[in-house]
Structures are given as structure tokens and as C-alpha cells.
Amino acid sequence: MPASDIPAPAIELSQVVKTFKSAAGEFTVLKGVNLVLLEHEFVSIVGKSGSGKSTLLNMITGIDHPTSGEVCVGGTEIYRLNESQRALWRGRTVGIVFQFFQLLPMLTLLENTMLPMDYCQVYAPGERPKRAQDLLALVGLQDQAHKLPAAVSTGQQQSAAIARALATDPPIIVADEPTGNLDSRSADVIIQLFDQLAGQGKTIAMVTHDASLTERTRRNIIIVDGELVDETVGRALPLLNDRQMLQVTRLIQRQTFQPGAAILSEGQAVDTFYMIDSGQVEIVLKARRGGELVVARLGPGEFFGEVELVYGGDSVASARAGANGPAILATLSHRAFLQLLSDSPLTGDAIGKIVQARLAENRAADRRRR
């Protein structure tokens, strides 16, 4: 994680609850979501259909009202605005890209791209065609500018929709399954475009249910049945299914260790599974002559302590927070960890392999230290 200058939060959700009332009764889609997205982040939000991910997105764009909780986007408490003010705010602050493109079919791609500038009264009227043309060129559609949406391919429609989303130069881009209706090649083009935009400083939140897209974003938020999975859990244990991730999220505890502080000492009894949220953890073996040997430096998303929990016995090495900064760890109790392994054979297998690898490493290190 870039730590040099700390970016400001672009989007903050605190305790957001959304309950739909229908004839069939109440249904809570978001169950108290807390989320902070920083400026210039490219974040994917993943979840199955019905998990509440589109509702979460609607909270960020001001398309829907939270039942309770607050949403602050770019410093604006957006639910203090009325519907009409919010439309204007949204047009200037958030560019939205939909799964089904949602270009207006009676306007050409160029006109579609100009429309947000007209609605939001940004850029001088004489400047708008030029800017729209430039944006279309950016997404590779300079030659299709005067075609109607129905006359171009779906991939091109989505590119045009992105150009439109950029029209008012909003700091935030929100995309709802932008590749959901595209073949894999077109999807690729769209994701590259997002990458490029993120590089230029936009904050991008993209909802998807395609796990393969999440590898390309710098941050990945998993939503399950209206609750967010702890990001550390999602990264450390990706093979858990949704419900298991959520379960783990509820069981973990966080501990912060100052630079250099000891987390485990060699030979100590281990009854906790550690996942690294941020910072660095050094795994250290005692060397001869009282020296020490750093066998591994673990970063965010990695974990330790599993070897002892699986095989029993005391800690085979010491662990301490790295010297560069404090380490924040998410911890899981011994019992919960074992339960997890039995619930998720896939995770069990994967951890088993990692344990074997680490044991092998330790043996190699042992040889070195002797």
C-alpha cells in the first residue's frame, strides 16, 4: 500500500442500513455497512446477485436512500440534498457506467457524450463538442462519433458510455457490472480503460460478480448478504465461500503492533491464527551465536501461525512487526481456525500445501542456521 502521502477519503459510508419494504414484508439488503474509499483508488466490489452490491453502489451514487446511516462523497453529505439537487451533484461528481450501457438511443455517441455537460452546465457550450470528441477519441471511438448507439457494437457502446461518464470530468467513476454484458475480449478493453483512468487519478468503484476481474483492481471488497467481508480475510483466505468469509469476518479480532514489537516468540505456545492487515511482519529464527535469521517478511494478505495450529506444538519461529511501521493483524482463535479448515476443504488443502512449503523452508533455514 502506498504510504508516502496519505490520500484523503473520497467516499465514506458509515453504518449504512437499507431496508426494502414490499408487500411481502421488510427485507434488509444492507446491514450496517462501513466503508471508506480513498482518492485515486480502483476498487472492485464483488458479490453474488442478491448480495446487495448494486444497492451499495446506489448508496454511493445517491440513486437510492439509505434507511439509516450516512454517506459522504467528496465531502458532501449527499442525503442532505433533495432529489433534484442530488441529480445535479451527481452529474458533476460521479460518472456512472451501467451494465446495459444506457446510452440514449435517439442521440449519436457524440451527442450522448455532450449531454451531461448540457445538463450540468459545465464547459462553455462552444467547447462541448470538442471535449466530447476528445473523450470519444480517448476511448477509441473518434470515427464512430456520429453514429447512433444501435449502429455500433455492444463493446463500443460501453466505451461510449465511459466517455459520457467522463464528460463532466467527475472525480469519481462508478461502474455497475460494466463487463457483464460483454464478451471477454470487449470486457478486457473496458478494464484496461478503467486501469488507465485510475492511473490518471480518478477514484473508481466497480461492481462485478466476476472474480477474475478483481485481480486487476488494487482493492477488493466482498459483500455477502448485505454485509462486507473483512478485506484482510478476503485476501488471506480467498477460497472460503461467501458465508464462511462472513463468519470469519465476525470472529476476527484486530491487534496493532508497534514497529519491532514481538508478536510471537520461538517456542511459545500458539493458539491464534494471524492474518496481516497492514504493515509487515518478520519471521525470525534464532541463529547461532545469539544472532537471528529473518526467514520471511510477510505483507498484507499473508498469514502465519497456521503451521503450529495444524500440527500442534510450540511456535517454530518468532514473529515481530516490521521496522517500517506498525503492523495491524487480524486474529482468529485456534478453535475457529480448525472449524474453518473442516468446513472448507478447499481452504484446508491450500493451507496444507502452504504448511508443507513453509516447513520445507524452515528446514532449509535450520540447516543454514546450524
Partner 1 sequence: MPLSAPATQPLIALRDVVKVYATPAGDFPALKGITAEVYPGEFVGIIGKSGAGKSTLLNMITGVDHLTAGEVVVRGPGDQQPVSIHQLGENALAHWRGRNLGVIYQSFQLLPMLNLVDNITLPMDFCGLYRPFGSRGRALELLRLVDLEGHAHKLPAYISGGQQQRVAIARALANDPPILIADEPTGSLDSLTAETIFELFEKLVGQGKTIVMVTHDNSLAPRFTRRLYIADGALVEAESYASQ
Partner 2 sequence: MLAMRPRWRKVLADLWENKARSLLVIVSIAVGVFSVGMIAGAYVIISHDMGASYASANPANIEMRTAPFSDELLAALEQVEGVEAAEGRCFTSVRVRTGPDSWTSLNLVSVADYRESQINLLVPLEGAAEPGRREVLLERNGLEKIGAAVGDVLEFELPDGTVRSMPVTGIVLDQSSNAGDFLASPLAYVSFDTLVWLHQPETYNRLYVTVSSDSNDEAYIRQVADAVNDRLERSRCQVYRTHVNKTNEHPLQSTVQAILGVLGALGVLIVLLSSSLIANTLSALLSQHQRHIGVMKLVGGRTFQIFGMYIVLILVYGMIALLIAIPLGGQAAYALAQLIADQMNFNLLGYRIVPLAFLIQTVIALGVPLASGFVPVNNGSRATVLQAVSGYNPGAVQSGWIDRLTSQAAERLTWISRPLLIALRNTFRRKGRLALTLFTLTMGGAIFVAVFNVRSALNNYLDSIGHYFLADVALNFDRPYRRNEIEDVALRIPGVEAIEGWTYASAEVLRPDDTVEVNLQILAPPAGSTLVSPNLLSGRWIEPGDEKVITVSEGMLEHYPDLQPGDTLRLKIAGQEDEWTVVGLFKFVGVQGLVGYASYETISDLLTQPNQAFTYRIVTDQHNYAYQDQMAATIDRHFRDLGYHVSLAEAGSDSLDTAAESLDILITFLLIMALLTATVGSMGLAGTMSMNVLDRTREIGVMRSIGAVDWVVMRTVIIEGLIIGLLSWFMGCIVAVPITSLLSAIIGQTVFATPLDFTYTVTGVAIWLGLVLVLSALASVLPARNAARLTIREVLAYE
CA distances from 219 to 278, 285, 342, 346 (A): 13, 32, 28, 23
The C-alpha cell 426494502 sits at 20
User: Any contact of residue 160 with partner 1 (CB under 8 A)?
Assistant: no
Which of 54-62, 215-223, 329-337, 342-350 is the region at the interface with partner 2 (rule: CB under 8 A)?
54-62
User: Any contact of residue 100 with partner 1 (CB under 8 A)?
Assistant: no
The item of partner 2, partner 1, none sharing an interface with residue 111, based on CB under 5 to 8 Å by kind, is: partner 2
Nearer to partner 1, 6 or 150 (CB): 150
Can you spell out the DSSP letters for 345-366? Answer: HHHHHHHHHHHHHHHHHHHHHH
What lies within 8 Å, CB to CB, of 99 at 6+ separation is 176, 177, 178, 180, 181
Q: What are residue 36's DSSP bridge partners? A: 12
What's the CA gap between 135 and 109, in Å, rounded? 11
Q: Which of 33, 78, 109, 111 touches partner 2 by CB under 8 A?
A: 111
The item of partner 1, partner 2, none sharing an interface with residue 352, based on CB under 5 to 8 Å by kind, is: none
User: Any contact of residue 183 with partner 1 (CB under 8 A)?
Assistant: yes
SS3 301: coil
User: Any contact of residue 19 with partner 1 (CB under 8 A)?
Assistant: no
User: Any contact of residue 120 with partner 2 (CB under 8 A)?
Assistant: yes
User: Any contact of residue 180 with partner 1 (CB under 8 A)?
Assistant: yes
Q: Which grid coordinates belong to 105?
A: 438511443
Between β-strands 292-298 and 25-38, what pairing exists: parallel, antiparallel or unpaired? Answer: unpaired
- Sketch the per residue contact string, 193 through 232, with partner 2: x for CB under 8 A, - otherwise: ----------------------------------------
Which positions from 170 through 189 interact with partner 2, judged by CB under 8 A? 181
User: Any contact of residue 275 with partner 1 (CB under 8 A)?
Assistant: no
SS3 170: coil
Query: Rule CB under 8 A: which residues touch partner 1?
Result: 22-25, 27, 48-51, 150-156, 177, 180-184, 187, 209-210, 212, 224-225, 241-243
